[in-house]
């Protein structure tokens, strides 16, 4: 949802950075892999140890590299391999974040929050899979309440601010996201059904 409104504004910032990095010999694929590795390492190392704010701040930094690699790909010309690599790395980073939050919740005895984290982990992967499978079949499954940007914003802000001492904010964020991600799965399945009817 945010992607529709923010893409043009963000591109004005990221496009010059992407062009600058390309001029210095970096490739979009390198930036994709570095960003994913950094996000995964930050999430799985800091968040389960209870360093929520630091972990979320570092994950945010590395996830923002995803905007830069997109700008680089647009400037250089996207490749099919780059698109698949980017989508694959997005799923890995998504999984690492929600796995880390679920792990932390279990370790601190917040079992119901861990359940919400697990729902977010599974549903976020399904959201992306429905779209990919639909597009492979020539159908459409765009949109929804909780696309990738919304998922990261809600999860990282909720956990990060709880790390600054605001109690239960991560619990609220994960339960809100659990509802939103399940709703998004349903929205995308319905969008595929509508697209299939229109294509028949």
Instruction: Tell me the catalytic residues.
Output: 90
Q: What is d(CA 139, CA 192) in angstroms, rounded to the nearest whole number?
A: 6
User: Phi, psi (5° rounding) for residue 155?
Assistant: -65, -45
Rounded (5°) CA angle 131-67-79: 65
Q: Are 154 and 165 in contact (CB under 8 A)?
A: no
Q: What is the dihedral of CA 38, 40, 46, 51, to 10 degrees?
A: 90
């Amino acid at each position: 949802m945010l992607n529709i409104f923010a893409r043009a504004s963000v591109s004005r910032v990221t496009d010059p950075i992407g062009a600058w990095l390309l001029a210095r010999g970096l490739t979009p694929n390198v930036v994709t892999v570095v960003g994913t590795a950094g996000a995964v390492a930050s999430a799985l190392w800091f968040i389960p140890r209870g360093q929520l704010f630091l972990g979320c701040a570092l994950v945010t930094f590395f996830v923002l590299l995803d905007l830069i690699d997109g700008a680089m790909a647009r400037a250089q010309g996207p490749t099919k391999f780059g698109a698949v690599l980017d989508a694959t790395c997005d799923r890995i980073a998504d999984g690492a974040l929600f796995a880390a939050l679920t792990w932390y919740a279990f370790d601190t005895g917040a079992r119901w929050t861990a359940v919400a984290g697990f729902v977010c982990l599974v549903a976020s992967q399904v959201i992306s899979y429905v779209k990919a499978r639909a597009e492979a079949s020539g159908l459409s499954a765009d949109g929804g309440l909780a696309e990738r940007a919304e998922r990261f914003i809600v999860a990282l802000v909720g956990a990060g601010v709880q790390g600054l001492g605001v109690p239960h904010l991560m619990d609220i964020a994960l339960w809100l996201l659990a509802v939103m991600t399940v709703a998004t799965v349903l929205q995308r399945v319905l969008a595929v059904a509508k697209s299939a009817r229109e294509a028949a």
